[in-house]
Structure 1
Amino acid sequence: MQALLDAIAAMPLPGDAQRIFHGRGGRHPGCEQWVLDAYPPVFVLTSFAPVGDAQLAAAGAALQARWDVLAPGRPLDWVFQHRGAGQAETRLMAGSVPEPHVVTEAGARYLVHVLRGQNHGLFLDMAEGRRWVREFAAAFSAREGRGARVLNLFAYTCAFSVAALLGGAAHAVNIDMARGALATGQQNHRLNGIASGAGVLPPGRPKAKTAPLGGSGPREAGERGGNFLAHDIFSSWGKITRGGPYDLVIIDPPSYQKGSFVATKDYARILRRLPALLADGGHALLCLNAPELGMDFLRRQVSEQAPDLAFVQRVANPAAFADVDEDRALKVAVFRKGA
């Protein structure tokens, strides 16, 4: 684990939430099991293989030594998580975790929860995707003289929606089956001074009118807004389509979630619907986080199921997530409808 210890010894004081060490990328032989993330003020060390007490003690000592240099007099807060066989065991190793725990990224604020579950509320590898969405929304507004309409499928905690609305989008519709995740998404909107629909709406309920919420941000609450719909996407196409057409559709599904989404089978089902959801000239941000499926899978699926869409670019992953095989890493691709 020497490469991990070296990375800790050289790390700067983290401001935004970010990855510090990415052993999973295969660029540090012998350290493939290790990942270190910063959700300031908390560090989260994750191992994808069993770990002995001596290894944990070495990691803890390295973190403490570096922290004493970076933040003398301040207590070190760190969490360890072991992942294996689809389950996660999490331990608070030192210090404490704020409650609520709010982190920043490029000026935006997000609520996270590092002591429960494998997903902490903000996917750090998608930072460049969120940056692209924010810049797209800003450029669209400047060019068209109006804010973009955005559809965020598999929205999770709605970080893409926050990025779009902070960039100047007029409205974002967030759809996910997980009501708890959408409730966190609504809190993320509040944290950034963005208006949102009044509550998470279950299937069959009409959309609430956008209402202003408290908070501060680059625009007054009420100018921009979002809605949160707890729907099964595959049984709600009528409702989703009626809300369009959209200037940007974001699709960031799980790669494999039994009973919900399997990329090899279900991505095609979504792509068939995509042209009808997009306005002429509209863009789609398609995400795929399946190591066994490369960019060729995504581009082939679009070519077969939505031939009206043209490939524009692949959004680069954050430098901290460098991989020996970029086709194995997270894929984020931009497509455009029409000329």
Structure 2
Amino acid sequence: MTSDFTPLISALADAPLLNNELCRVFHGRGHSIEALSHINLDFYPPCLFLVSYDEIEPDTLTLLTNTLWQWATEHHPALITALVYQQRAGVQSHNALVHGTLPTQHSVKENGIGFLVDLMSKQNTGIFPDMRSGREFVLANSKHAKVLNLFAYTCGFSLAAMQGGADHVMNMDMSKGVLNIGKKNHQLNGFEKGVSFLPHDILKSFGKLKKAAPFDLIIVDPPSFQKGSFILTKDYQKVLRRLPELLNEHSQLLLCANSPALTEAAFKQLIAEHTAGAIEFVQRLAPTAGFIEVDSDKSLKALVYKSSGNAA
């Protein structure tokens, strides 16, 4: 690995840290600087969160973390109080608090919404920074809406919908653990009415969804791969086939895929093949600020569709 960390320091200097909101500081995974393409750096106030997808030699890692911490203590000692490193190479991820101290209960803000996060015990932190543009779309399109949030995880889209004035949000995820965090997120923001949490396998629960239909806004944001439950390339079409049953004539949909192997064109073709003309493409959301990608086909794809009026 290169020992030239100037791009990271430059990114820190340019990042909107004073907003005191979650943001991507350096997006190495976008491959704009090939020597640092395995590195991401995020700001989870009050913590810098450094992630590497390759193993870093110990001396180089020490130099890197010390360089970042020195900059933080010189420029924003009150704003940045910790540095966490996550090693994501191989099967097991490893998280370490390298400098400073973390809050006992750590929450971050995005557009005024609070999200509980955990930078130490899991690979995923509780929120995906790259999906900010998707949450902003939901926030702007939820007024008086009945919203369905599939593969809800910790319910970030639901929080955005509630902030945007949704009448009701139904969150479904097979993991009770992440939905419990989602409930706590809603409590944190005072969103305790007009929201439901269903710990079910989505592929086996369309009867429940059809009874609750139709929905004004549907979000589908599955994991690319979840052992034993969902494989994007095999299971997405099963969800798509049932979506027409859940629509009204004005429904909007946010269909997401975060697999580098699935191009935008292939994703659109998959959607067209399995929704029987019930929906039509509107737009692909622009990437969240800070997520510069050399190849947009390998980046997050968040596609907006609307009902074509041919819903079942």
Q: CA deviation at 1:46?
A: 0.7
For 1:73 and 1:271, how far apart are their aligned partners in 2? Answer: 48
- Alignment match, 1:8: 12
Contact 2:9 2:71 in 1 (8 A): no
Partner SS for 1:84: coil
Correspondences of 1:123-202 after superposition (within 5 Å): 123-137=128-142, 141=143, 147-195=144-192
Ranges in structure 1 where 5+ consecutive residues have no aligned partner: 142-146, 196-221
Partner SS for 1:249: strand
Contact 1:13 1:70 in 2 (8 A): no
- Alignment match, 1:332: 302
Over the aligned positions, Cα root-mean-square deviation in angstroms equals 1.5
1:134-169 deviation digits (Å, cap 9, x = unpaired): 0011xxx3xxxxx10000000000010010011011
- The amino acid of 2:132's aligned partner reads A
Q: Which moved more, 1:36-45 or 1:254-263?
A: 254-263
User: Cα distance 1:104–1:75, how it changes in 2: closer, same or farther (>3 A)?
Assistant: closer
Partner of residue 78 from structure 1, selected from 80, 83, 86:
83
1:255 paired to 2:224: yes
Partner SS for 1:117: coil
For 1:325 and 1:265, how far apart are their aligned partners in 2? Answer: 24
Partner SS for 2:282: strand
1:278-306 deviation digits (Å, cap 9, x = unpaired): 11120110000000101112211121111
Q: Which moved more, 1:5-14 or 1:63-72?
A: 5-14
Moved over 6 A (4+): none
Once the two structures are aligned, what percentage of the paired residues are identical? Answer: 41
1:297-326 deviation digits (Å, cap 9, x = unpaired): 221112111122100010111131111001
Contact 1:64 1:76 in 2 (8 A): no
Partner SS for 1:161: helix
Contact 1:128 1:317 in 2 (8 A): yes
User: Cα distance 1:10–1:249, how it changes in 2: closer, same or farther (>3 A)?
Assistant: closer
TM-score, with structure 1 as normaliser: 0.86
For 1:20 and 1:162, how far apart are their aligned partners in 2? Answer: 24
Q: Which moved more, 1:243-252 or 1:46-55?
A: 46-55
Ranges in structure 2 where 5+ consecutive residues have no aligned partner: none
For 2:247 and 2:271, how far apart are their aligned partners in 1? Answer: 14
1:96-154 deviation digits (Å, cap 9, x = unpaired): 111210100011000000001110000000000000000011xxx3xxxxx10000000
For 2:15 and 2:251, how far apart are their aligned partners in 1? Answer: 40
1:321 paired to 2:301: no
Correspondences of 1:1-339 after superposition (within 5 Å): 1-2=4-5, 3-14=7-18, 15-72=20-77, 76-137=81-142, 141=143, 147-195=144-192, 222=193, 225-306=194-275, 307-338=277-308
User: Cα distance 1:175–1:73, how it changes in 2: closer, same or farther (>3 A)?
Assistant: closer
Q: Which moved more, 1:70-79 or 1:283-292?
A: 70-79
Contact 1:78 1:92 in 2 (8 A): yes
For 2:66 and 2:254, how far apart are their aligned partners in 1? Answer: 42
Aligned residues: 303
1:43-77 deviation digits (Å, cap 9, x = unpaired): 11011111122222222232223223333467730
Partner SS for 2:219: strand
Contact 2:69 2:99 in 1 (8 A): no
For 2:187 and 2:78, how far apart are their aligned partners in 1? Answer: 33
Partner SS for 2:93: strand
